[in-house]
Amino acid sequence: MILTLLDRLEEWLITFLIGAATLIIFVAVVHRFGCSVPVPAIQDLLIPINMSWAQELCIYMFVWMAKFGAAYGVRTGIHVGVDVLINRLPGKTRNKFIIFGLLAGALFTGIVGTLGSNFVWHIAHTEQVSAELEIPIWMVYLAIPCGSYLMCFRFLQVTWSFICTGQLPHHDHSHVDGIEEETIPPDVNWLEMDDNLHPHDLKHKKLGNGSKEGGGK
């Protein structure tokens, strides 16, 4: 139950940050364009509105999104990895290397999270604020320990799951949420389909035409 709640919170936070940042950037661009329109009424309405904070806020939102998105990537298996050599190893040796890699990732992110926590602790005792929003700068850097510790937890979670089940999280890049998969038999040879919607195997097509012509003769 707790893990499910954490998963949903992670997904909601990433979705909110992406959506809000996109909306803010759109509004800022429209505002900047409207201020340059040579219409006094529009300029009098838009110029007094201060949107200088939009760029800074979006940068901070993307930083938080990237840190939590990295943890989401570990959980769902969407990070890019080179496993050609690992997959050629014998089963037990391969499993040991996979576990070593996951634990190394957990160790690295744990160290980054600890160093980030120490940095945030020291900077929180200063009066540094951001340039435009004038918020305490430690709130921005808090993304480092929070995101790194969550990523460390995800590495440990994937490691434990792999030890218990022998399976790693795998993301199907061809799948789109909300779209039902078509029921296509797995043994369909697209190159042999007799239609104009799919590419044809030229060799097969030539043989097919030759056999038909030979049959006609």
3-class DSSP state of 2: helix
> What's the confidence (pLDDT) of residue 14?
95
- 116 in a structural domain: yes
Structure tokens belonging to residue 43:
């300029």
pLDDT surpassing 60 at residue 214: no
Return the H-helix or E-strand segment holding 36. helix 2-36
Q: For residue 129, which phi and psi values (nearest 5 degrees)? A: -130, 165
- 50 in a structural domain: yes
DSSP per-residue codes, 98-152: HHHHHHHHHHHHHHHHHHHHHHHHHHTTS--B-SSS--BHHHHHTHHHHHHHHHH
- 21 in a structural domain: yes
> What's the confidence (pLDDT) of residue 66?
95
- 199 in a structural domain: no
Q: Band of the pLDDT at 81, cuts 50, 70, 90?
A: confident
Structural domain harbouring 135: 2-165
> What's the confidence (pLDDT) of residue 186?
53
Higher pLDDT, 122 or 38: 122
Please tell me the pTM assigned to this model.
0.75
- 160 in a structural domain: yes
> What's the confidence (pLDDT) of residue 42?
87
> What's the confidence (pLDDT) of residue 203?
52
pLDDT tens track for 38-49:
888 888 888 899
- Work out the burial of residue 125: count CB atoms within 10 Å of its CB; fewer than 13 is exposed, 13-18 middle, 19 or more buried: exposed
pLDDT surpassing 90 at residue 176: no
As for how many domains the chain has, the answer is 1
